[in-house]
Structure 1
Amino acid sequence: MARRHLLLLLPLLALAFSVAVAAAEGQGDSAAFIDGASRRYLRDQQGGQATSMSLDEVSAAVSVLLGFAPPAMLPSQSSAKLNKVLLPNPFDRPRAVFLMQIDESHASVDSFISEAGSVFKTKIEGAENAATGLTDKDELIVIRSDESLDVQSGSDSLDNELTDLAIWLEGSYQKTDGKLNIRLESGNSLTLLVSKNADLEFASSLISLLKTIKRGIQVHEDFSGGIVSPAELIVCHFTGIKALEGEYGSAEIVKQGAEVVRTALTKAFDLLQAAYNGKIVGLVISTNEASTSLASIIDAPSSLHISRRLAEASMTNATASASIAAIILVRLSLAWTTGIILLISTLIGICLLMNMPLTRDTLLYSNVKLD
Structure 2
Amino acid sequence: MRAFYIIVVSLLLSPISRGEASGSVFFIDGQNNQHLRQQSSSDVHEALVMSPGEISAAVSVLLGFSPAATLKADGSSKLNRILRPNPFERPRTVFMLEVIGTDDALVEAYSSQSLLGNALRSNVVSDSYKADIEFPDEREAAVVSLDEPSSGMTDKDISDLASLIGGSYFADNKEPLTGVLSFSLSNGDTVQFHLAKEGERRFVMNLLVLSQNVRQAVSLHEDLVAGIERPAEFMVGRLSGISDLREESGEGKAKQGMEVLLAALSKLFNLLQTSHQGQIVGLIVFDERANQESEKMLNVVYSSRPSPRWLAEEGGALNSTLVAKVLLVRLTLAWLTGIILLIATLIGIYFMVNMPLTRDTLLYSNVKLE
Q: 1:146 to 1:131 in 2, by over 3 A?
A: closer
Supply the distance in 1 between the matched residues of 2:250 and 2:181 (Cα, whole angstroms).
21
Aligned to 2:62: 65
Q: Secondary structure at the match of 2:237?
A: strand
Q: Secondary structure at the match of 2:182?
A: strand
- 1:261 CA drift (Å): 0.8
Q: 1:115 to 1:214 in 2, by over 3 A?
A: closer
Aligned to 1:272: 272
Contact kept, 8 Å, 1:109 with 1:285, in 2: the verdict is: no
- 1:72 CA drift (Å): 1.7
Supply the distance in 2 between the matched residues of 1:221 and 1:308 (Cα, whole angstroms).
30
Supply the distance in 2 between the matched residues of 1:291 and 1:43 (Cα, whole angstroms).
33
* Structure 2 runs not aligned, ≥5 long: 1-12, 173-177, 308-370
Tell me, yes or no, if structure 1 residue 91 matches structure 2 residue 85: no
Aligned to 2:51: 54
For residue 36 of structure 2, the aligned residue among 18, 35, 42 is 42
Aligned to 1:210: 211
Supply the distance in 1 between the matched residues of 2:118 and 2:205 (Cα, whole angstroms).
29
Alignment of 1:135-146 (within 5 A): 135-136=136-137, 139-146=140-147
Q: Secondary structure at the match of 1:118?
A: coil
Over residues 165-196 of structure 1, what are the superposed CA-to-partner deviations in whole Å (9 max), with x where a residue is unaligned? 11111211111371111122222221011110
Over residues 120-156 of structure 1, what are the superposed CA-to-partner deviations in whole Å (9 max), with x where a residue is unaligned? 1001111434242433377001110254356xxxxx8
Alignment of 1:209-248 (within 5 A): 209-248=210-249
Supply the distance in 2 between the matched residues of 1:74 and 1:219 (Cα, whole angstroms).
32
Q: Which stretch shifts more, 92-101 or 125-134?
A: 125-134
For residue 162 of structure 2, the aligned residue among 150, 166, 176 is 166
Name the aligned partner's letter for residue 270 of structure 2: D
- 1:73 CA drift (Å): 2.2
Supply the distance in 2 between the matched residues of 1:296 and 1:162 (Cα, whole angstroms).
29
Aligned to 1:179: 180
- 1:226 CA drift (Å): 1.7
- 1:293 CA drift (Å): 8.9
Contact kept, 8 Å, 2:29 with 2:36, in 1: the verdict is: yes
Supply the distance in 1 between the matched residues of 2:107 and 2:235 (Cα, whole angstroms).
19
Supply the distance in 2 between the matched residues of 1:293 and 1:87 (Cα, whole angstroms).
33
Contact kept, 8 Å, 1:72 with 1:133, in 2: the verdict is: no
- 1:86 CA drift (Å): 0.3
Q: 1:307 to 1:98 in 2, by over 3 A?
A: farther
Q: 1:124 to 1:261 in 2, by over 3 A?
A: same
Alignment of 1:1-371 (within 5 A): 25=20, 28-46=22-40, 47=42, 48-49=44-45, 50-107=47-104, 109-111=107-109, 113=111, 114-115=114-115, 118-128=118-128, 129-136=130-137, 139-149=140-150, 157-176=153-172, 178-250=179-251, 252-289=252-289, 290=291, 295-297=296-298, 299-302=299-302
Name the aligned partner's letter for residue 165 of structure 1: L
Q: Which stretch shifts more, 105-114 or 270-279?
A: 105-114
Aligned to 1:368: none
Supply the distance in 2 between the matched residues of 1:293 and 1:118 (Cα, whole angstroms).
30
Aligned to 1:336: none
Name the aligned partner's letter for residue 273 of structure 1: Q
Name the aligned partner's letter for residue 162 of structure 1: I
Name the aligned partner's letter for residue 201 of structure 2: L
Supply the distance in 2 between the matched residues of 1:77 and 1:216 (Cα, whole angstroms).
34
Name the aligned partner's letter for residue 123 of structure 2: K
- 1:90 CA drift (Å): 0.5
Name the aligned partner's letter for residue 161 of structure 1: D
Number of positions where the alignment pairs a residue of Structure 1 with one of Structure 2: 279
* Structure 1 runs not aligned, ≥5 long: 1-17, 151-155, 310-371
Give percent identity, aligned residues only.
35
Q: Secondary structure at the match of 1:242?
A: helix
- 1:40 CA drift (Å): 1.7
Contact kept, 8 Å, 2:147 with 2:239, in 1: the verdict is: no
Contact kept, 8 Å, 1:36 with 1:273, in 2: the verdict is: yes
Q: 1:296 to 1:33 in 2, by over 3 A?
A: same
Q: 1:228 to 1:117 in 2, by over 3 A?
A: farther
TM-score scaled by length of structure 2: 0.69
